[in-house]
Chains A and B, each alone.
Chain A
Amino acid sequence: MASSASPLPGPSRLNQPPPAPSTSGDSESTVPQPPAEKGLDVNILKELAKSALVESLNDIQGAKTLILEPALAGPLGLVTEVALLKHQAVDKMFWLEPGPLNVNTRNVVWLCRPKIEYMRTIAEQIKAQQTNPSPAGPLMYTILLVPRATELCRRVLEDQGVAGDVTISEFKLELIPMEDDLLSLEMDDVARDVFLNGDDTPIYYSSLALMTFQRAFGLFPRILGKGDGAKKLADLLQRHHNTDPAQYGDIETSSQVDGLIILDRSVDWITPMLTQLTYEGMLDEFVGIKNSHIEVDSTLLDSNTAPAPSPSALPSTPVTKKRKHHLSSQKDKLYSELRDQNFAVVGSRLSKVARRLEGDYGGVKNLKSVSQMKEFVGKLGGLQSEQQSLRLHTGLTEQLMPITKLDTFNRTLEAQQNLVAGYDPTSQLNTIEDLMNQELDWQTILRTIVLMSLTNGGIKPKLLEAFKRDFLQVYGYQHLPLLINLENLGLLIRSGSGTISAAQNQSITFLRKNLRLIVDDINDLNPNDISYVYSGYAPISLRLVQCLTMKNHLSSSSSSTTQEGQNGNGFATREKPKAHPLNGWKGFEDILSVLPGDNVDVRQHGEKRDNPLVIPDDNKLTTTVVFFLGGCTYTEISALRWMSKQFKGRRFLIATTGIINGNTLIESLGDRPPVQLKQST
């Protein structure tokens, strides 16, 4: 890294490339895992969704052909198994796509989100079917809309002249438990809809989902939040509660949940623009995780290793089949250990597990008695599954490692970290130009330039124009509307042009200091601060949650926390501090004032009006729900998990409209890619 020779005292830590994962596990200290305290049992939400689907399908009499929106398959798979649908007389399943139907059941059932294009496809299919009736007699058409039936869809079907022929009903698929501490609506492109297009439909759906949540677990005693979207959502929650007593009137104040914190993505665009540096975050950035599933070489999954080379196969390129694998901490203990770690320590963790397994297997030689033998055999199953997940994660880590060694990766990271630290923006722009000349993927380039605009109060008009010109030349003029959209969102603006840029500039400087966004001394192995997820940058979103729930931690100087961290080995002897009750924003007004959007702080009461404040104590665990409107990243999830472990008495339950990363976010803000041109004749 040439820049380390720079005369300016740059932040020491940030200029280092992220340490490549070391494979020696010697330095690692063993932190005894405290017994897991159980938070809310969110599986009830899964059961609700499952039974809602079963009911919806059972209401339709007879054998059915199910036509499924492809994007729903993932979320659906998280609440039920396809095999289960067979019990509901689902005969065949197809993807929802234009083209004629091929049905030999009496019922046709479409399952999709209430989107206009789907309604049109369905209408076409019904019309085609009607002009060419099936031999089995007239078909019964049903559309199950997720999560609710809309008047809009009904109108579109009416305009297409098929409204009379279909039954429209709904399937309430709302918050899906992805993990014990993670709920997601699994909706795509929410940030685009809400913040760019001003289409608040996702906010409304979120409000309905959170009402269902409250019906299951009680009314949030307090709702806090930041951002215009957060405000709208909080208002809707109260509105539902106040105006629909028939449905929500009898919900009592929750005794398990102390509050809801709503964070709206527009409050913190910086975080998703940065490259995630946790294991799960890296997997999402560079391999891609969709609905908790990842595509991996099937060789990493099969238990019988070493795919036998087939005699006819060419030796050069063995065709590796990709398979979808469900990443789940319940099925894969090793994953639950690794996912939230900084990637730098993943290698050493893996090698430690490998050596332990070797030892365990090696133990077979020393078996003396039959009872020892029996004990060992009993362990075998566990060892095998452990070995299997070790193979998977070693394989994935091997896939990620070369990426972290790329010059472009490290320079991008360096630029990003310098930008958030406010260090020499001009030379970062040069780096961006340079990376663009090398035709690094356009998403990364835009993420970095957006980061520059956000952390710098915009970019000088001349430089910005030059950048845009180059960008369009390198990656194509079709990206022009995307650049305009970024400008409209305030993500890529000219400096000195207006109030936004001035405000942004002030705000980031203020936040850097007062929210301690940059942390130099991070211990990757035993993190002492959430900033470990970005190797030295703490997400603004989570610092806000800390304002409300870990006030003391935030205000304490970094040295005291470091001490705590350095005493890592003495961790076991130290009692974890108790969590303090959920604060309001009091004391953080100045921070809120530099962030965009409304502030939210309301209290809710059940009918009975007795409002036992949920105060975390020794014996009782309270859950704080953090809802990300517009999506959150895996790093943010990891950071909240870390926060859950810091105190006794409070667990964070993460809820989100969906899981995003900078690439998916940036892509969603642009148009569809252009179609291939045809040769005109």
Chain B
Amino acid sequence: MSISSPTATWDTIQNVFYRKEEVYTMSWNVHDLSEYIVAVGKNGGPIAMIRDDRLPLPSSRHSGKPKITLYTSSGLPISSPISWDLNTPILMHLTTSSLVVLSDQGIYRIYDLSNIANYKQYTLGDEVRESGVLDAKAYEDGMVILTRRLEFVEVRGWRGGRGVPLVGAGLTEPPTSWTLLPPDISPTGHIQLLLSTNSTILTLDTLEKIDQRISRAPFSHIRISPNGRFLALLNPNTGILWVVSSDFGRNLSEVNIAEFGEGLPERVEWCGDNAVTLGYGNGKVVLVGPRGESLSWDYPPSAYILGEIDGVRIISSGTCEFVQKVPDCTLAVFSPGSSHPAAILYDALDHFERKSPKADESIRSIRPDLANAVDTCVDAAGREIEVTWQRRLLKAAQFGRAFMDLYNPSDFVTMAQTLKVLNAVRYYEIGIPITYEQYIASSPSTLIVHLVSRNLHLLALRISQHLGLRPDPVLSHWASAKIIRSSQKGVDPSDRGLGDDESVCRAIVEKFEKEGEKGVSYAEIARKAWENGRARLATMLLDHEPRAAEQVPLLLQMKEEKIALEKAVDSGDTDLVYQVLLHLRSTLSPGDFFHILDDSISPKLKPAVNLLQVYARQADRDLLRDFYYQDDRRTESGCLEMEEAGQQEYAEERLEHLKRAAKSFGESKERLFESKMVDDAHRLLTLQQTYERELDHKFSFSGLSVNQFIHKLLLEGFTKRAERVRADWKVPDKRFWWIKLKALAERKDWEGLEGFAKFKKSPIGYEPFVTHLLSLTPPQPTHAASFVPRCDPRLRADLYVQCGDWGKAAESAKERNDRGKLDELRRRAPNGIAQREVDEVIRRVGK
């Protein structure tokens, strides 16, 4: 390519500069793209094509079932052709790392680009298969299918997830065209469809259908611009290309395209966000500006156009070209007659190299804008494909820098670094014509994924290191690829150095260690080995995996249950342990299951045994019972029965569980006391039931504790029965007195209380009589006071005070000749009667 001037490729549409650059001369042997169904990956991605067998065979060149072939953008084949045994694909779509092909029966296959022989096949379910697929559109993370029943189904992610139907569009005939708005540009943040019927445009998503009431319909093409703000719509009847804001609120341009070519274009693509490109069947490509001015090129017999975020890629049998609006920074430097500081700086470098004094003069003239000039040159360098111009621009920037006191070189360094990467991947053998804008927008790590999917591991690794990215995705992919290659048929596994387990494992581990990488998932690689029938290699690799969460699923798959369980326990992640336990429970016989868990054999598994109990307690009581039984855990069995007893609503059943609990406890020497207690509980409930029956179920006692039982019996006046319970349970005197005191007080049975107090000497003293009666609501000071004389003489005065009887308080102080107490009472007595009463006593003392 001769390099005369950077502007040699420029052209204008109504004073706006566009440039068309030839990126590659195609190395392939494809003559007419129109014979193929073509898919092209975004951001300089590869080209997939399959001969369209619906077309009449033009020549004898083609025979047999068509195959899918993959090429780089420079036309080099990427892999051997893929046979396609289903009907003609409805959709071929390239994501960064895979190729998706959909047949009209609703079957789709996802090919891993790095290992094309390996694909996953999914179906869209019976309904879709029966109706058949009419059309489909895809984006990076999913696709939407239009069935022959005119229903739209969304498939999210490429993992074979279930299709989600969108809201019914109510169509009676297929839309004249439709387009898919991916989540990143749709206004809702979820996918959205725009579809044109004969009368209007509908917006459709999973929730609602909106009629946009566009009377200009129908449209044969609907395209949304890369930034999601504009729509290009082509009406086939009027030939009007209409550009409108994506909310249909602002009319931007209307162009009649009749003059550009015969018939309608086959493809309509945006060229960045600025212009629309039309691709005709005969290889004519027209770039249309807003006012209808245009540029056109011919690529006979045919060309394929693909819109990128910053331009449009034109692929023809001979070349791969890229058309874009000239970026502002480039314009600033190179546009004819530019007086931008960057242009002056660029010229100054020229003068400098020719040792012309004008250099200094120029620099002087832009001194205040030097930083801007330098930055613009750096930016412009990024937008050039030609290395010559990149260098020249960076040099100009460097030259300008020299005249600045302060300059942060990081932009410059980053750009130089980035260009090194971009030039490397653009090299025709690699064939990724990614632009700076695309690279920034799609992120460096996406580029790495792209390279890895092409099995360009070394390049990917070097670029990762160059950019300071983590190398583990590359290494991990490399290792998987190595295993797959070494496991392919035709390679003798015993062939040393190529395929045997030890050397493969060693090679992989050595490589990882050399690159100093800890983050690689050995488990992922081990899984690849396992999937390729290399169980031994898988085990060896798995040993290097530090993360249990990664190891365990594969170990289970490999039927290494016990190791899996141990690893899960080691990890401390209880969910992982559950995962293994539940897996074992569903795959092993109960005997084997318990055997693995027997902690006398494997004490390390104690935590797993604990978790099993926690789980079974909530979800599988029978399992728990069996486990306790076979493991001789009598105490646990007993407790379990006790708990269940408590949850029974009927006494008979509760008694049954209590019986079993007593039995379980009884079987352990250590638990005789507990067994006895449960017996007592059983006896208590039985007695409560008996009394209820005897009293014609007028009272309910069941479930009460011994204390509550006695209390209730006393409260209801069944003193004899209360005495019997007291005797049977050997309730100590003190406790019984408390119960009776409270029950009688609650009955307000003051006589009974009096009798009870007199019956014999209270083992709890009489203060409780006083304090308890005072604590009732409402308090009973009068009755309380009647017990004060029985209390300790030293306390009586205070107790009377609590009862509110200041006179008696003073009296009792007097009886004890406690002058101090009397004085205190006098001080504390509230005004009025109380004080007079105290005074009265004091007067008597004084006498």
Contact = CB atoms under 8 A, between A and B. Distances in A.
Interface of A: 58, 61-62, 106, 115-117, 120, 148, 150-152, 155-156, 164, 193, 197-201, 203-204, 207, 232, 235-236, 239, 242-246, 249, 407, 433-434, 436-439, 465, 468-470, 472-478, 480-481, 484-485, 671-680
Nearest to B546: A243
Contacts of A148: 575
Contacts of B650: 677-678, 680
B605 to A, nearest CB: 12
Given A474-B735, A674-B647, A117 B618 contact: yes
Contact of B731 (A197, A232, A473): A473
Interface stretch (B39-47, B101-109, B127-135, B670-678): B670-678
Contacts, number: 169
A61 B651 contact: no
Given A151-B575, A245-B518, A473-B706, 8 more contacts: A62-B207, A151-B582, A200-B572, A204-B572, A243-B547, A477-B677, A484-B639, A485-B639
A152 B642 contact: no
22 contacts: A61-B207, A116-B618, A152-B578, A204-B574, A207-B572, A239-B572, A242-B546, A439-B742, A465-B673, A468-B673, A468-B677, A470-B732, A472-B680, A472-B706, A473-B731, A474-B706, A476-B708, A477-B680, A477-B681, A478-B645, A480-B639, A671-B643
B403 interface: no
B150 to A, nearest CB: 18
Most B Cβ at <10 Å: residue of A62, A106, A151, A675:
A151
Nearest to A436: B735
Interface in B630-657: 635, 639, 642-643, 645-652, 654
Given A480-B642, A676-B703, A199 B189 contact: no
Interface residues of B, number: 70
B678 A151 contact: no
B472 interface: yes
Contacts of B573: 204
A62 B164 CA distance: 14
A235 B569 CA distance: 13
Contact of B642 (A198, A474, A478): A478
A680 B613 CA distance: 33
Interface string B555-589: 00000000000000001111110110010000000
B700 interface: yes
Given A151-B575, A671-B642, A61 B654 contact: no
A103 to B, nearest CB: 15
Given A152-B579, A245-B519, A677 B706 contact: no
**4 closest cross-chain pairs (CB), A and B:** A198-B610, A674-B646, A477-B681, A476-B705
Given A116-B619, A199-B574, A477 B607 contact: no
Contacts of A152: 575, 578-579, 582, 615
Given A201-B574, A244-B547, A245-B518, A155 B582 contact: yes
Nearest to B205: A61
Nearest to B653: A680
Interface string B602-616: 000011001101110
A652 B643 CA distance: 42
A245 B205 CA distance: 39
A13 B389 CA distance: 89
B213 interface: no
B764 interface: yes
B724 to A, nearest CB: 15
B190 interface: yes
A677 B688 CA distance: 12
Contacts of B189: 58
B674 to A, nearest CB: 6
B277 interface: no
B472 A246 contact: yes
A28 B207 CA distance: 67
A475 B704 CA distance: 9
Contacts of A199: 574, 610-611, 614
Given A465-B673, A474-B706, A198 B572 contact: no
A439 B738 contact: yes
A473 B697 CA distance: 23
Given A207-B572, A243-B547, A677-B702, A437 B738 contact: yes
Contact of A680 (B615, B635, B652, B732): B652
A434 B654 CA distance: 32
A116 B470 CA distance: 39
Main secondary structure, interface of A, reads: helix
Given A62-B206, A197-B610, A150 B578 contact: yes
B649 A484 contact: no
A143 to B, nearest CB: 15
A680 B207 CA distance: 53
A238 to B, nearest CB: 11
B635 A484 contact: yes
A679 B703 contact: no
Contacts of A438: 738, 768
Contacts of B610: 197-199
Nearest to A461: B673
A107 to B, nearest CB: 10
B470 A61 contact: no
A164 B162 contact: yes
B503 interface: no
Contact of B677 (A439, A474, A480): A480
B608 to A, nearest CB: 10
A481 B162 contact: no
Contacts of A117: 618
B517 to A, nearest CB: 8
B684 A198 contact: no
Nearest to B578: A152
Contact of B643 (A115, A203, A242, A481): A481
Contacts of B635: 484
A472 B677 contact: yes
Contacts of B578: 150-152, 155
Contacts of A439: 707, 738, 742
B407 interface: no
A675 B647 contact: yes
B575 A246 contact: no
Given A117-B618, A477-B677, A198 B606 contact: yes
A671 B661 CA distance: 15
Contacts of A244: 519, 547
B678 A198 contact: no
Contact of A481 (B642, B729, B732): B642
Contacts of A164: 162
B572 A675 contact: no
B579 to A, nearest CB: 4
A396 to B, nearest CB: 21
B207 A474 contact: no
B539 interface: no
A74 B590 CA distance: 42
Nearest to A193: B614
A26 B677 CA distance: 57
A254 B472 CA distance: 26
A515 to B, nearest CB: 31
A163 to B, nearest CB: 12
Interface in B96-154: none
B188 interface: yes
Nearest to B649: A678
Contacts of B680: 472, 477
Given A116-B615, A164-B162, A675 B707 contact: no
Contact of B651 (A58, A120, A680): A680
Contacts of A470: 732, 735
A268 B42 CA distance: 63
Which of B205, B573, B652: most chain A CB closer than 10 A?
B573
B649 A677 contact: yes
A678 B649 CA distance: 5
Given A473-B729, A677-B651, A480 B575 contact: no
